[in-house]
Amino acid sequence: MSTITPEILTAHNVTADEYGKILSILGREPNLTELGIFSVMWSEHCSYKSSRVHLKKLPTRSKYVLLGPGENAGIIDIGDGIGIAFKIESHNHPSFIEPFQGAATGVGGILRDIFTMGARPIAVMDSLRFGPLDEPRSRRILEGVVSGIAHYGNCFGVPTVGGECVFDKSYSGNPLVNVFALGVIDKEKIFKGQAHGVGNPVIYVGAKTGRDGIHGATMASDEFTEESKQKRPNVQMGDPFLEKLLLEACLEAMGTGAVVGIQDMGAAGLTCSTCEMGSRAGTGIEIDLAKVPQRETGMSPYEIMLSESQERMLLVADKGREKEIFDVFEKWGLDAAEIGIVTGDGVLRVRNHGEIVAEIPNRELADEAPIYNRPFTKPARKAQMEAPAYTAGDAKEELKKLLASDNICSKRWIYEQYDYTVRTNTTLGPGSDAAIVRIKGTETAVAMALDGNGRYCSLDPREGAKLGVAEACRNLSAVGAEPVAATNNLNFGNPQRPEIMAQLVEAIEGMADACTHFETPITGGNVSLYNETLGEGIFPTPVMGIVGLMKNAAPVPMRFQSEGKSVLLIGGYRETSKAHFGGTQYADTIVGSTWGLPPALDMDYEKRVHRAIREIVRSGLVESSHDLSDGGLAVALAESSFGGVGARIALPASETPEIQLFHEAPSRILVSTANAAAVVEVAKKHNVDVVEIGVTIQGRVVVDKLIDATIEELHEPWSTSLEKRLHA
Amino acid sequence: MKIVKFGVVVFPGSNCDHDAQFSVSANLGEPAEMLWHRDTKIPGGVDAVILPGGFSYGDYLRCGAIAKFSPIISAVKDFAARGGLVIGICNGFQILTESHLLPGALVRNSGLKFICKPVELSVATANTPFTNAYEKGQIVTFPIAHGEGQYTADQATLDELEREDRIVFRYVDNPNGSMNSIAGICNRERNVLGMMPHPERATDPLMGSTDGLGLFRSMVAAFALQKPPPPPRGRSGSDSPNNGPRVAPRLAAHK
C-alpha cells in the first residue's frame, strides 16, 4: 500500500528529488516512520545541505586544534594535558515561538554538546538579537529569553560570563538566540559519538521521552508565517536540574572506563543519535522502542524516533560492563535502559515490541543527505550608497543619545540575572570587552568574546564578516589574550533566494579569509537559515565566538583608574570617509539611516595592533584598556570614564567632527598609562600608529571645543536606559 | 597543621559544592571532604559542615523544601545539636530555614528577578565562630547570586534576632528586600550560620575579593583556641556515635 502522498511530503519539507533519493536508497517506498526519520536527518538544520559546500572553505586546523568540525564540539589544546571544548549553537526559531523555553533549551542543548565530549562546562555566553525595544513584542521576547537563559544556566551551575545583545527592526519577527558554551577536558579522555564494537549494548540515559519537540529540526528549517504560533508544541521543555544530574552522571560514568561512545539527543533526538553514532563508526544500530523510557502512553514509533525531549543521552557501553554504568545512573536517580545493540551490518534497524518499524542504511541516512549548491547572485541590500543630507547637532547631546541607545546602553539589567561567578573562575565578567575564566590547576586562563555586526553585513557581507572576526580578536587582545580558535553561528534568511544565498556565500568567504589571517580556525559551529518572517529576512548575521589564551593574571581594567595619566589611542585616528560612516551607530541612531559601506578594515594593520596591545597589556604598561567599537572614540571614552575618572582630550580640527568622534574604524584601542613613552615604543616596534590624545582627570569627560560633560551626565543615560525602555 | 576538617554536603542539584571545597582546601589550606545527601551520619573527624549553594533536588515546590527530608539533614541536625559548626550558603541557608535550624524564610527577591553582583555587607556581630576574625561594623564584599533571597520573619522573631545579637551580616544597600537588611543569621547557640551571599566566592585575589577568607579563618580560629589541642584523629573510635563533634568554644557569652 502506498501511504506517502505528496501532501505528506510537503508536510515533511521533503522535495520530490529528495524523495527520489530516499526511494533509491531503500529500494522501496518508506513507511511514515522512515520518512519522518529521513525528513529530520535531511533537514537544513541537521544536514547543512545548503551551506556545506561553502563551509568547506573555512580553515579548521592549527597547532592548537585537537578536534575540528564534525563532532559535537571542537577541542583545542591549552597545554598541561588539558583541552578546551567549545561551540556555539542557535535556538532562534523556538525562542520566537516560546521565548522562555526556547532560550532555556538552547542553553541545555549546547551544554550537552560540551559534556558529551567528556568536558565539564565552565562558561556560557550568549549573542542575542531582538527587534527595537519600543515594540511590545520585542520587549516580551527579550524578557522571556533572558529569564530562560538565566533559569537554565543558573540552576545548572555554569556561569554566563558575557555576550552581546543587539536591537534592530530586521529582527522584529525573527529574534536570534545564539548560545556559546565552553568546557574543560582531560585531553587523554575525549569521548566521541561513535558506536564501536559489534555486540556492545546501546544504552539510553536521562529524561523520559515525551511528545515534545517533534519536528523541531524541520521547523528550524522553514520560514515563519502567521501560523507559526501554532507550532508551539514543537518547542521542547527544559529541566536544568535533570541536566545537572545528567552532567554529573555522564562524567562519572565516563570515568569508569565502561563507556565506548556517547552522544546527546538534541535536534532529531533518538534518530540523529543512533544513525550518527553508527555512521561515524561504520556500524549499524538496532534498537527496540518498547524499551525506551516513555513519559506518555500510546506513543507511536514515529513520535518516539522524532521526539526532541530534552536531557537525554545515548551511549554505547563495553559489553559485560553495563552494570558499572547502571550503578552510576542509579546513584544520580536517572533512568538508564538498554534499548539495543551495535550491529555489523551498517543498518539503523528500529523495532517496536520486536516488530521492525524502520530499516535504513546508516551511512546514507547520516552522510548522504542531498547537498545543494544553490544559485546565488549579488547579496541583497536595501541601503543606498549615498549618504543622506544631515546636519550634525551638539556633540554632547548626540553622545548622550548614543549612550542611551538600545545597542550601546549598559546591558546590566540582562547580565545581573545570570549567575556569572559560580565555579569561582570568572576573573573578568560581563560588561567587559572579553570574558576571562581561569583554568584551575594551571597557570592558564581562557578569554572569550562573541561578536557579529548584522548592519555591517547588510552593507557588505564579506567585509562585515571579516570585521566580526577582527573585532572578536581585538576584544581578546585588549585584555591581553592571544586568539587561537573560533566557532561560528551563521544566521541568515532563506537560502533558496539567490540574493540571500549570496549573503551567506560572501560572509563565509570573508570569514574564511579573516580566520586564516588571524589564525583562528573554526572548530565547529552552527548554521541557522530561513530566518524570515512573511518573506522579510533578517540582516545577514554571522556571529563569531573566539577563544584566546593568556597566563593567569589580574585582568587589565577597562576603565581609567587614576587621574593625571596619559590617554593614548593605539592604532591612531584612522581617518574615514562619509561612505564608510554609513554603517555606524551614529548613522542609525542620530541620522536615522544606514548607507554606504561598513568601516574599512586593513587586516595586516589590525593584526599588528593586536600584537602591540597584547605586549603592552602583558608588560603591565597600562592602567586601562578598552577597544573602540559601536559609537567609536567618543563612546569608548565615556565608557572608560564610568569608574569616576574621566579624561580631557583634544582632536585635530575637522570639518566633520561627528565623524571624528563617532566613526567606527577598527584597529583602535584606548589606553591610559603612566608610561606613555614605553607604550609608544612598543606600538612603534609593531609599526602601529599611536597618538597621545589627552590626560585623565577627575569626574569629567572633555573633548576640547566639542564636549564638556560630567561623568554622571553621561553615565545616567547609559546605565538606566535599558530598564527604562523595558518598563516604559 | 590542619586544624579544621570541613565536610561539604552534595545534594542532587548542588552547584557550589566544588567551589566550597576549592575555597576551603586551595585557598584556606584546610581539608574538605564531600558528604552525600543519602549519608545518614556526619563522618567522625568532620568539624564543620557546609551546605553549599545550588538548586537542591531542583528546588521544586520551594527552595530547600525537599532537601530538608534528606537523610543527611537529619545527621546535620544531630551534628548541630551536639555543637558542631554548620554554615549554609545561599541554597544552604534556604535549607536551614526549611529545616527549622534557623528561623524565618527566604522568599522571592522583591524585584522578582535573579540577581548576581558583588554586594557590600556589614559584619553585624563579631561574636560568632564565623566572624571572630572580623571587626563588628567592618564592611566586606561578597558576591550574591540568588532569586529567592529576601529574608522574611515575623516581628517577634526579628526582635529576638536583634536582641540576641544573632544577625551576623546585613546588606549595606539591600538588594532583595530582606527585612532588617538581613543577609545572614545564626542560631541561639551561635554554631549554625545561614547566609545568602557567597563567602566562598570571595577567597581568591583573582576573583576580586578575599573578604570571605575571614569567615573561614574565624572558624579555624575558633578551633585553634580550643584547649588542649585536638588529639591526632585515629581511625578507631572517631566514628563512635558517642563521640560527638569537637565544639568550637564560645568566644564570649552572648548578651
A456-471 pLDDT per residue, tens: 999 999 999 999 999 9
Please report the residues numbered 134 through 193 in chain B whose beta carbons come closer than 8 angstroms to any beta carbon of chain A.
143, 145, 147
Among A133-147, B1-15, B67-81, the least confident range: B1-15
Q: What is the pLDDT of residue A227?
A: 57
Using the Cβ of A727 and the Cβ atoms of chain B, whether some distance falls under 8 Å is answered with: no
Cα–Cα distance for residue pair A222/A236, rounded to 1 Å: 17
Shortest distance, CA B137 to any CA of chain A (angstroms): 26
Query: For residues B108 and B197, what is the distance between their CA atoms, to the nearest angstrom?
Result: 15
Closest CA to A144 of A102, A196, A182, A197: A102
State the amino acid at position A233 in one-letter form.
P
Question: What is the rounded distance in angstroms from the CA atom of residue A462 to the CA atom of residue A603?
Answer: 13
| Interatomic CA distance for residues A663 and A439, integer angstroms | 37
Confidence of residue A553 (pLDDT cuts 50, 70, 90): confident
Sheet with A201-206, side-by-side order of all strands: A259-264, A312-317, A201-206, A335-343, A284-288, A347-352, A355-361
- E runs forming strands in B164-241: 167-171, 182-186, 192-195
Residue B166: all three cell numbers together: 544573632
The mean pLDDT of chain A is 95
* Host H or E run for residue A189: none
Tell me how crowded residue B229 is: count the other CB atoms within 10 A of its CB.
10
- Let me know if B198 is a catalytic residue: yes
Total length of chain B: 255
- Alpha-carbon dihedral sign for residues A481, A483, A484, A487: positive
Contact predicate A331/A343, CB 8 Å: no
Closest C-alpha among B59, B188, B64 to residue B128: B188
Helix (H, G, I), strand (E, B) or coil at A452: coil
* DSSP state letters, A190-241: ---S---STTPEEEEEESPB-STTTTHHHHTTS-B-GGGGGGGGGS----HH
| CA proximity to A485, closest of A521, A460, A461 | A521
pLDDT, one tens digit per residue, over A175-230 is 999 999 999 999 999 999 999 999 999 999 999 999 887 766 565 666 666 555 55
Count of CB pairs separated by less than 8 Å, A with B: 83
CA A555 to chain CA centroid, nearest Å = 24
How do A624-627 and A669-673 pair as beta strands? antiparallel
* Number of other residues whose CB lies within 10 A of the CB of residue B247: 17
Task: Supply the pLDDT for residue A268.
Answer: 82
- The CA R_g of chain A, rounded to the nearest whole Å, is 26
**CB within 8 A of A599, min separation 6: which ones?**
A456, A467, A576, A580, A583, A584, A663, A664, A665, A666
- Identify the residue whose cell numbers are 543512533: A274
CB A191 within 8 Å of CB A254: yes
Cβ atoms of residues A50 and A495 within 8 Å: yes
Indicate yes or no: CB of B115 within 8 angstroms of CB of A417.
yes
Nearest to A632 by CA among A664, A601, A597: A664
**Portion of chain A with pLDDT greater than 70, in percent:** 97
Say if the Cβ atoms of B116 and A554 lie within 8 Å: no
Nearest to A421 among B13, B116, B205 (CB): B116
DSSP assignments along B74-99, one per residue: HHHHHHHHTT-EEEEETHHHHHHHHT
Instruction: Give me the mean pLDDT over the A644-649 stretch.
Output: 98
Inter-chain residue contact A422 with B19, CB threshold 8 Å: yes
Query: Is 50 exceeded by the pLDDT of residue A264?
Result: yes
For residues A578 and A659, what is the distance between their CA atoms, to the nearest angstrom?
Answer: 8
At residue A147, the pLDDT reads 97
Q: Peptide bond preceding B245: is omega within 30 degrees of 0, i.e. cis?
A: no
How far are the Cα atoms of A66, A135, A583, A653, A706 from residue A578, in angstroms, in the given order?
Answer: 45, 31, 10, 17, 20
Select from B56, B116, B173 the residue whose CB has the most chain A CBs within 10 Å, as the one to mutate to test that interface.
Answer: B116
The 8-class DSSP code of residue A660 comes to H
What are the b/e assignments for A635-670, b being 16+ CB within 10 Å?
Answer: bbbbbbbbbebbbbbebeeeeebbbbbbbbbbbbbb
3-class secondary-structure state, position B170: strand
Q: Span B228-255, mean pLDDT?
A: 50
CA torsion, ordered B64, B66, B67, B68, to nearest 10 deg: 90
Q: Is the pLDDT of residue A365 over 70?
A: yes
- B254 has pLDDT over 50: no
- A119, A73 in Cβ contact below 8 A? yes
| pLDDT tens-digit series, residues A230-240 | 554 567 789 99
Identify the pLDDT of residue B251: 45
Residue B253 has pLDDT above 90, yes or no: no
Closest CA to A361 of A302, A282, A460: A282
Percent residues over pLDDT 70 in chain B: 89
Is B252 a residue whose pLDDT tops 60?
no
What is the mean predicted confidence (pLDDT) over A262-269? 89
> For A534-547, what is each residue's pLDDT tens digit?
888 899 999 999 99
> Cβ atoms within 10 A of the Cβ of B156, count?
9
At B223, is the pLDDT very low, low, confident or very high (cuts 50, 70, 90)? confident
CB contact under 8 A, A424 and B23: yes
ipTM: 0.93
The structure's pTM equals 0.95
pLDDT (average), residues B44-48 = 95
Give A420 to chain B, closest Cα distance, Å: 7
Residue A215 CA to residue A289 CA, distance in Å, equals 18
Total Cβ atoms within 10 A of residue A97 = 18
pLDDT computed for residue B250 by the predictor: 53
Contact (Cβ atoms closer than 8 angstroms) between residue A691 and residue A567: no
Tell me what pLDDT residue A213 has: 73
Q: How close does chain A come to B209, measured CA to CA in Å?
A: 11
Task: Specify the pLDDT at position A266.
Answer: 82
Sign of torsion over alpha carbons B19, B20, B21, B22: positive
Q: Give the strand order in the sheet containing B48-51.
A: B32-36, B6-10, B48-51, B85-89, B192-195, B182-186, B167-171, B115-123, B139-146
* Distance in angstroms (rounded) separating the CA atoms of residues A671 and A663: 18
Contact list, A415 vs chain B (CB under 8 Å)? 116
Supply A89's cell numbers: 549553537
State how far the Cα of A628 lies from the Cα of B91, in Å rounded to an integer.
Answer: 41
Question: Could A244 and B15 be called an inter-chain contact, meaning their C-beta atoms sit closer than 8 Å?
Answer: yes
pLDDT score of A599: 98
Cα A608 to Cα A237: distance, rounded to the nearest angstrom: 47
In this prediction, residue B235 has a pLDDT band, given cuts at 50, 70 and 90, of very low
* Phi, psi for A171 (deg, rounded to 5): -100, 5
- pLDDT above 80: residue B234: no
Beta-carbon neighbour count of residue A6 at 10 Å? 10
- d(CA A661, CA B139) in angstroms, rounded, equals 41
pLDDT average, residue stretch A474-501: 97
- SS3 assignment, position A318: coil
Please say if the pLDDT value at position B231 is more than 70: no
Q: Out of A332, A417, A421, whose CB is closest to B114?
A: A417
Please report which confidence band the pLDDT of residue B249 belongs to, taking 50, 70 and 90 as the band edges.
low
| CA–CA distance, A128 with A107 (Å, rounded to integer) | 13
B115 → closest Cβ in A155, A245, A416:
A416
Question: What pLDDT is attached to residue A498?
Answer: 97
pLDDT number for residue A226: 57
Give DSSP secondary structure letters for A150-165: HHHHHHHT--EEEEEE
For the residues B2-10, what does the mean pLDDT come to?
A: 92
Best probe of the B interface among A411, A421, A552, A726, by most B CBs < 10 A, is: A421
Q: Which amino acid is at A444?
A: T
A422, A426, A427 ranked by CB distance to B15: nearest: A422
- Name the average pLDDT for chain B: 91
What whole-number distance in Å separates Cα of residue A306 and Cα of residue A319? 28
B190 Rama sector, left if φ>0, alpha if ψ -120 to 50, beta otherwise: left
pLDDT of residue B241: 45
Q: How far apart are CA A517 and CA A506, in angstroms?
A: 16
For residue A354, the one-letter residue type is G
pLDDT, one tens digit per residue, over A652-710 is 999 999 999 999 999 999 999 999 999 999 999 999 999 999 999 999 999 999 999 99
Output the pLDDT for position B232: 44
* Cis, peptide link before residue B228, omega less than 30° from 0: yes
Helix (H, G, I), strand (E, B) or coil at A425: coil
Nearest chain B residue (CA) to A440: B22
Residues facing B139 on adjacent strands: B122
Q: From A358, A298, A296, A349, select the one nearest A39 (Cα to Cα).
A: A358
Give the length of chain A.
728
The pLDDT value recorded for residue A537 is 86
Query: 556633540: which residue's cell?
Result: A395
Stated as kind and residue range, the H or E segment containing A649 is: strand A645-649
* Beta strands in A29-173, from DSSP E residues, in sequence order: 65-67, 74-77, 82-90, 120-130, 160-167
